[in-house]
Amino acid sequence: MTSSDEDGLDLAGLKRKYAEERAKRMRNEGLGQFVDLDSQFGHLADDPWSQPRPRDPVEEDVTVLVIGAGMGGLLLGAEFHKKGISDFRIVDKAGDFGGTWYWNRYPGCACDIESYVYLPLLEETGYIPSEKYAKATEIFRYCKSIAEHFELVDKTLFHTGVESAHWDEEALRWVITTDRGDRYRARFLISCTGLFNSPKLPNIPGVMDFEGHSFHTSRWDYQYTGGGPNEPMAGLRDKTVGVIGTGATAIQVVPSVARTAKQLYVFQRTPSPVSYRGNRPTDPNWEDSLQAGWHQGRMDNFTALTSGYYVEEDLVDDAWTDIMKTITPSKDGSRSISPEELELAEMRKMDETRRRIDTIVDNTQTAEALKPYYHYGCKRPTFSDEYLQSFNQPNVTLVDTNGRGVERIGKKGPVANGTEYAVDCLIFATGFDFMTDHSRETGIDIRGTGGKSLSEHWSNGMRTCFGIQTHGFPNFLFISYAQSGITYNYNHLAREQAGHIAHILSQGIKQGIATFELTEQAEREWVDEVVKLAEPRLVFLDGCTPGYANHEGNRGQAYQTNVPYMAGAFVYFDRMAQWRKSGDWPGMDVKKISELTA
């Protein structure tokens, strides 16, 4: 790439600016700058949506035990239903289906990827979302309808947190215990614990000393704020509110709070790139025009366009996919995009995002502070037609901390840039653990052969094949983002993994397999391939402003391995399809029940 392009972008200058902004945000603590809600602020992690009913502990033998009733668990349950696997139990610490859509009910919460590609199983259930970007309430309802459609309701236990899962080498069963005193024995164990399941707070002094009211966005307190996800929050009319964080969640929260709070302070460490959203009701003519297979086609189209492949037609046509429009199409329309072309397109996209701010935000100082200076993809792109506009309201103040963040929480409120901002209510939009450590994120003690824990096995980073199984843990599979095909549409990936996992289990059951276990060699080969393919990504992430994608800028061992499979989603899907086609369990040690009893 040259130092400036034909649009007049000063590419070299921008890269220098990106590096300066990154340097401001680098902190030695890395991931240590956060604490989990569960571990230290138990009361803030409480479920605000439903209370467990008393019940007796369950002792049960099942063929499959599934941990998690979010999108992964639902997709898996649907695949089981299709394949006739019926002896399974799903457990979840939440009070209903939905996972992230159970917990996150903050005002303004909605899908930020088009619902026609994000919501799974639309053709199977015959459902069409009511809007291009469905609201969280609709998505939560849809999750419950998936469960009903695929007859998962009676198979699921809620308000039940798995505490441990240990492989019994004698019995060849997983023994699973829960916080409700249950004890399961399962032939197969599947973990679908999701990506953003462990809320975190900044590990700054004073969080417990704050005298006002506080909560995390994933545990919204409507008793305090009044209103509901799509209703005004009357309880905030006479309140001064602080929101810490400006990630994808805050972008959705801020406009709703701004509409009702007497005064709102938004504490910003790093601005998000905010593109247009363009939500609209579903067009009934479009709905009528859909042909069988449309959903798969649209998901593929979105994943291709957002993964750097050139595709002639942009079916989704929104601010996620328009990045490819800045790339001149090749004549034959078949090639994929070169890294240089992609980088240039991304520099232009970020420039456009910054220029958009000037057209919306009246105060020039605020507008300048809201401009993100880092490479596209370092942080989650966001979309809103209301967030930037909020800062034109007289009751909304951006407290930009120039990359330093809130230093501490005083008795009256957050301290930033040396000033204490007195607030009645403090809302932590500070995110979740992401791809760090399975046990840290889930709190589950998983032990395989020889009593070895998963944390021990992964102490130098994740070790898997296809991101779904690991050596030393027989009959154990999981849905995961790490070491598996990269796409912004998690449900596309989860659906492929769920299909693959259900295939393995149905074959295992049909063929009378007692145990299957990933070989050490297959694990090593996959990890080596993942790490090698990720080298350019790590160079990219090294240059990124700190965030969850690059473990807050701190390179540890896990940083090299807990990465997606960078050959891309389609190659990944194809590799799994080839495995299924081969039919002879390559890369796994398999023992049949008949061999053991002979």
Stretch that binds ligand NDP, among 15-23, 238-246, 311-319, 497-505 (CB under 6 A): 238-246
Using the CB atoms, write b or e for 3-17: b if 16+ within 10 Å.
eeeeeebebeebbee
If binding is defined by CB under 6 A, does position 248 make contact with ligand NDP? yes
If binding is defined by CB under 6 A, does position 267 make contact with ligand NDP? yes
Q: Counting runs of H as helices and runs of E as strands, what totals does the chain give?
A: 23, 22
Of 32, 28, 44, 107, the closest CA to residue 428 belongs to 44
If binding is defined by CB under 6 A, does position 269 make contact with ligand NDP? yes
List the one residue from 107, 255, 308, 405 that touches ligand NDP (CB under 6 A): 405
Q: How far is the CB of 393 from ligand NDP (least distance, A)?
A: 20
List the one residue from 77, 229, 247, 255 that touches ligand NDP (CB under 6 A): 247
The three-state secondary structure class of 335 is: coil
Q: Which two tokens stand for residue 265?
A: 């302070």
Q: For residues 110 and 323, which CB has a smaller minimum distance to ligand NDP in the complex? A: 110
If binding is defined by CB under 6 A, does position 78 make contact with ligand NDP? no
Stretch that binds ligand NDP, among 64-72, 142-150, 363-371, 425-433 (CB under 6 A): 425-433
If binding is defined by CB under 6 A, does position 429 make contact with ligand NDP? yes
If binding is defined by CB under 6 A, does position 115 make contact with ligand NDP? no
Stretch that binds ligand NDP, among 39-47, 85-93, 105-113, 364-372 (CB under 6 A): 105-113
CA dihedral sign of residues 156, 61, 184, 595: negative
Greatest extent of the chain over all pairs of C-alpha atoms, in Å: 80
Q: How far is the CB of 588 from ligand NDP (least distance, A)?
A: 32
H-only helix segments in 261-411 = 284-289, 294-305, 339-360, 364-369, 387-390
Q: For residues 196 and 559, which CB has a smaller minimum distance to ligand NDP in the complex? A: 196
- Binding residues for ligand NDP, rule CB under 6 A, total 28
Q: How far is the CB of 403 from ligand NDP (least distance, A)?
A: 7
Please provide the DSSP assignment of 186-226 as one string.
EEEEEE---SS-SBEEE--TTGGG--SEEEEGGG--HHHH-
Q: Which two tokens stand for residue 105?
A: 């009910």
If binding is defined by CB under 6 A, does position 548 make contact with ligand NDP? yes
If binding is defined by CB under 6 A, does position 202 make contact with ligand NDP? yes
- Residue 594 buriedness (CB in 10 A; 0-12 / 13-18 / 19+): exposed
Give the C-alpha separation, 174 to 360, whole Å. Answer: 56
CB atoms within 10 A of CB 295: 18
Q: Which two tokens stand for residue 272?
A: 């998000």
Give the C-alpha separation, 459 to 531, whole Å. Answer: 16
Which are the contacts of 78, defined by CB distance < 8 A and separation ≥ 6?
120, 121, 124, 146, 149, 150, 152, 498
If binding is defined by CB under 6 A, does position 270 make contact with ligand NDP? yes
Q: For residues 267 and 516, which CB has a smaller minimum distance to ligand NDP in the complex? A: 267
Please provide the DSSP assignment of 529-562 as one string.
HHHHHTHHHHHHHHTSPSSGGGGGG---HHHHHS
If binding is defined by CB under 6 A, does position 541 make contact with ligand NDP? no
First to last CA, the chain: 66
Q: How far is the CB of 196 from ligand NDP (least distance, A)?
A: 5
If binding is defined by CB under 6 A, does position 204 make contact with ligand NDP? yes
What's 231's DSSP letter? B
Q: How far is the CB of 404 from ligand NDP (least distance, A)?
A: 8
Tokens 């395989």 identify what position?
448
Q: For residues 248 and 541, which CB has a smaller minimum distance to ligand NDP in the complex? A: 248
Stretch that binds ligand NDP, among 162-170, 266-274, 291-299, 350-358 (CB under 6 A): 266-274
Binders of ligand NDP among residues 11 to 50 (CB under 6 A) are: 25
Q: For residues 7 and 542, which CB has a smaller minimum distance to ligand NDP in the complex? A: 542
Q: Which two tokens stand for residue 469?
A: 């199984």
Of 345, 355, 341, the closest CA to residue 275 belongs to 355
If binding is defined by CB under 6 A, does position 246 make contact with ligand NDP? yes
Task: Give, in order, the Cα–Cα distances in Å from 486 to each of 27, 303, 335, 385, 597.
Answer: 28, 9, 19, 28, 42
Q: Which two tokens stand for residue 422?
A: 């007195």
Q: How far is the CB of 368 from ligand NDP (least distance, A)?
A: 17
Q: How far is the CB of 202 from ligand NDP (least distance, A)?
A: 4
Q: For residues 383 and 466, which CB has a smaller minimum distance to ligand NDP in the complex? A: 383
If binding is defined by CB under 6 A, does position 129 make contact with ligand NDP? no
If binding is defined by CB under 6 A, does position 547 make contact with ligand NDP? yes
Stretch that binds ligand NDP, among 180-188, 267-275, 384-392, 589-597 (CB under 6 A): 267-275
If binding is defined by CB under 6 A, does position 214 make contact with ligand NDP? no
Q: How far is the CB of 479 from ligand NDP (least distance, A)?
A: 16
Q: Interface residues with ligand NDP (CB under 6 A)? A: 25, 110-113, 196, 202, 204, 244-250, 252, 267, 269-270, 380, 405-406, 429-432, 547-548
